[in-house]
Chain A
Amino acid sequence: MEVALFGNPNTGKTSLFNILTGSYEYVGNWSGVTVEKKVGILKESAGRLIDLPGIYSLNPLSKDEGIATQFLLNESFSVALNIVDASQLERNLHLTIQLLEFGKPVVIGLNMIDVAKSRGIHIDEKALGKKLGASVIPIVARTGKKCQFLSKQLTPREEDAEPLHIDYGEKVEESIDQLVSLMPEDVRLNKRWLSLQFLEGNKVVRENLTSLIDKEQLNKICTELESQIIIEKDTKSIKQYLYAKRQQFISEVVAESVEKGQTSGRTFTQTIDAVVTNKFLGIPIFLLLMFLVFTLTFNWLGTPLSDGLDAFISGPLTDWLKAGLTNVHATPFIQSVILDGIVAGVGGVLVFVPQIFILFFFISLIEDSGYMARVAMVMDRVMESVGLNGKAFIPLIIGFGCNVPGIMAARTIEQPKERLLTTLLTPLMSCSARLSVYSLFVAAFFEKHQALIVLSLYVLGIIVALVLAKIFTFFIKSEGSVFVIELPPYRIPQARTLLRSTWDKGKGFVRKAGTFIFGGTVAIWFLSYAGPHGFDVPIDESFMAVICGYIAPLLAPIGFGTWQAAGALVTGFLAKEVVVSTMNVLYFVPDGQTLTGIISHFYTPLQAYSFMVFILLYVPCLSTVAVIQKEAGSKKWTAFSIGYALVVAYLLSLVVYQGGQWLGLH
């Protein structure tokens, strides 16, 4: 049995999904956290639950909203589970009606009844269910209240439900009849629903219908109806007319099932909003919060933990492994591959796990609390000046964690050109993988100002993205940027959800350490162990040194023309953490010392900063390139995203290094 989960954004859809399926999915408190359809196994009954992106209506405005409509048209399912926000009932019911018109059995989860009650709204779920012709179950998805009961209602039905039938008035009904009669007999979907959605202007349905009915005929029916309706009914479009008809039906339903009492005064959300979206304080507060997050991640919490882990891996763990390997009489080759290759490479990356998890924890906190939408609002003016809108800032922030989900989050942007721009610029956001490189360098060179130096790189990434956005808009002509966003009420994130969310984001990093980085370091170790003159050669005569020696001179003007640096950059294309593992292998860290300790012999602080700037910008990693290709759908743009990044990285590092030298820094 397949159950599809539909609902407006910010109604607790993903929370419900997590409770019903027992498995974890990403939860957030801003429109568009679910950017792809996700599937989980239902706990109570044998079946699968499909989580779809949040939508206000089946008529999509953005790419992610289109996914839900595509699903209805192309996939089969037994029951639609519609989650409805009780405190926003009327708005939510517009989607419910469209689902009921579709004709599949619908179960309604009436969520946030606690919030509704506190606002003085009392809903008689039996009366509501009776009017709508579907079962309505009040739940609180955040706490799991009544969710098991809801789950038991999700049973496969023998027959499809009787579709809801609203009388849309003579003219519309005539057009529907016309359209229905034009459709071939074997159409699997509800023909009335298809006609209605088409008349409303649903692009996805329209595309579907043009394969069945002649385009000219479709257009004719639509324009005829429009002209009649606008004159006779004093309305502006068919869409608005249908909306009004549905609203009329909803008002009747609500009149019989909802009682509204007195609402209390200023809410919790209003009080916070008065500060965080304050005219003058909004942006400073945002920057201050980000600085606090970085200080916590680096100076206060993350670094002590990482240092401890580093000392453990390079000290006791290496000694134990060495003793163990000697005991089993492992050959020097095996000893070298394990100790100098795997432990140095994979271990060198794993030491950054604490910092990365702390950063992910804060990103989850920002998402779940509802602050993200405020950030979009506060940043809109800045984004507008470079031809983007405030919503594009959300993918950028998510990109701080990992560029891949960041790029996927760009789907919530309505205008295709703005979406493309955001996709191209998100890789400039300094992801957590790059963090491992900075952590290494700031600990070695900028011990006193770690958080500040790292923050400067994050800010540099944002500034470069904004400047490039401005430049790119001269070439990619925009259709005119728009911005409209719902600011959901603040919700105190639950510890359990936060921890799961942090783990969900961070586990990819740990998994990468076991796959990509493991494989990568073994390969790098081998290339540094073997050379043109045989095995176990001095590292300066290895294949690695020979190959990367050709690239090194190119990097000399930007401050790090060594074959080791070149090697780290080349292998960093696989994943940015590999830069650190490669350095661990190539700089051949002696026993009892850490890479942090010896790297200061190979770079000056200015060279180190120039290197970090280059790492920040130079190319998106392999996984990011793959997702750009998928989202932009064009090889040209993918190649462009790599090319422009290399050019910009080289130029900026050149400015930093040469400029720094000119100023007398070293």
Chain B
Amino acid sequence: MILTELKPGDKGKITDVSKVTALVQSRLLDFGVLEGKEVCYKYALPFGGPCMLEACGQCIGIRRKEAMCIQVEQS
């Protein structure tokens, strides 16, 4: 399933981030967010706005279309 299909507040384990834009992928790697890490989907802002994730002890904001490229496994 994709990250945005998680219910807000639910956690999942990342299985694939390779479809995300290269630049965002690099930055996520800097944050330590990559395959195998647990991520909590916090919420998305309205009108297709960005969404907030919590991973590796930090909060990260990314656009929804990027979040929709992240595959997760519900945990």
Contacts and interface: CB of A to CB of B under 8 A. Distances in A.
B60 interface: yes
Given A57-B30, A240-B29, A380 B63 contact: yes
A381 B28 contact: no
A66 to B, nearest CB: 14
A380 B49 contact: yes
Contacts of A376: 61
Contacts of A483: 24, 50, 61-63, 66
B45 A378 contact: yes
Contact of B23 (A61, A88, A94): A61
A536 interface: no
B40 to A, nearest CB: 11
Interface stretch (A170-178, A276-284, A560-568, A637-645): A276-284
B21 A485 contact: no
Contact of A484 (B28, B32, B34, B48): B28
Interface centre among A240, A376, A378, A484 (most CB of B within 10 A): A484
A484 B60 contact: yes
A390 to B, nearest CB: 7
Interface in A33-65: 56-57, 59, 61
Interface in A232-278: 236, 239-240, 243, 247, 269, 273, 277
A277 B52 contact: yes
A125 interface: no
| Contact size range, B | 20 to 34
Interface string A413-429: 01100000000000000
B48 A487 contact: no
Interface in B15-52: 18, 21, 23-24, 26-32, 34, 43-50, 52
A239 B63 contact: no
Contacts of A280: 46
A480 interface: yes
A581 to B, nearest CB: 44
Given A279-B45, A381-B47, A239 B29 contact: yes
Point out which of A61, A282, A483 has the most chain B C-beta atoms below 10 A from its C-beta: A483
Nearest to A91: B32
Contacts of B45: 277, 279, 282, 377-378, 380-381
Contacts of A282: 45
A87 B61 contact: no
Given A277-B45, A380-B61, A487-B52, A480 B31 contact: no
A480 B21 CA distance: 10
A240 B34 contact: yes
A482 interface: yes
Contacts of B49: 378, 380-381
B61 A487 contact: yes
Contacts of A61: 23, 26-27, 30
A384 B63 contact: yes
B1 interface: no
Contact of B61 (A56, A236, A239, A485): A485
Nearest to B59: A487
B47 A377 contact: no
Contacts of A485: 60-62
Interface in A356-392: 373, 376-378, 380-381, 384, 390
A486 B29 contact: no
B57 A243 contact: no
Contacts of A377: 45, 50, 52, 61
Contact of A482 (B23, B32, B46, B52): B23
A486 B59 CA distance: 6
Contact of B62 (A87, A381, A414, A484): A484
A277 B61 CA distance: 11
Interface-central residue, B18, B21, B26, by most chain A CB under 10 Å: B26
B58 interface: yes
A307 interface: no
Given A61-B23, A484-B27, A381 B50 contact: yes
A169 B62 CA distance: 34
A415 B48 CA distance: 22
A90 B31 contact: no
Interface string A211-236: 00000000000000000000000001
Contacts of A415: 23
Given A378-B45, A483-B63, A487-B61, A56 B50 contact: no
A376 B60 CA distance: 12
A68 B1 CA distance: 39
Contacts of B44: 279
Contact of A486 (B31, B43, B48, B50): B31
A94 B56 CA distance: 14
A91 B60 CA distance: 14
Contacts of A373: 61
Nearest to A379: B49
Nearest to B21: A482
A486 B58 contact: yes
A90 B32 contact: yes
A378 B52 CA distance: 11
Contacts of B28: 484
A587 to B, nearest CB: 49
B59 to A, nearest CB: 4
Nearest to A243: B29
Nearest to A279: B46
A642 B56 CA distance: 46
Nearest to B16: A236
Contact of A88 (B21, B47, B57): B57
Contacts of B58: 88, 91, 486-487
Contacts of A56: 27, 30-31
B47 A484 contact: no
B21 A390 contact: no
B53 to A, nearest CB: 10
Contacts of B47: 381
B23 A87 contact: no
A140 to B, nearest CB: 19
Interface string A476-499: 000010111111000000000000
A484 B52 contact: no
Instruction: For the complex of A and B, list the 10 residue pairs with the smallest distance between their C-beta atoms, beginning with the closest.
Output: A56-B30, A381-B49, A487-B59, A377-B61, A484-B27, A485-B61, A380-B50, A91-B32, A484-B24, A484-B62
8 contacts: A56-B27, A243-B29, A243-B34, A279-B45, A414-B23, A482-B21, A482-B23, A487-B58
Given A88-B58, A415-B23, 5 more contacts: A239-B29, A373-B61, A381-B45, A484-B27, A485-B62
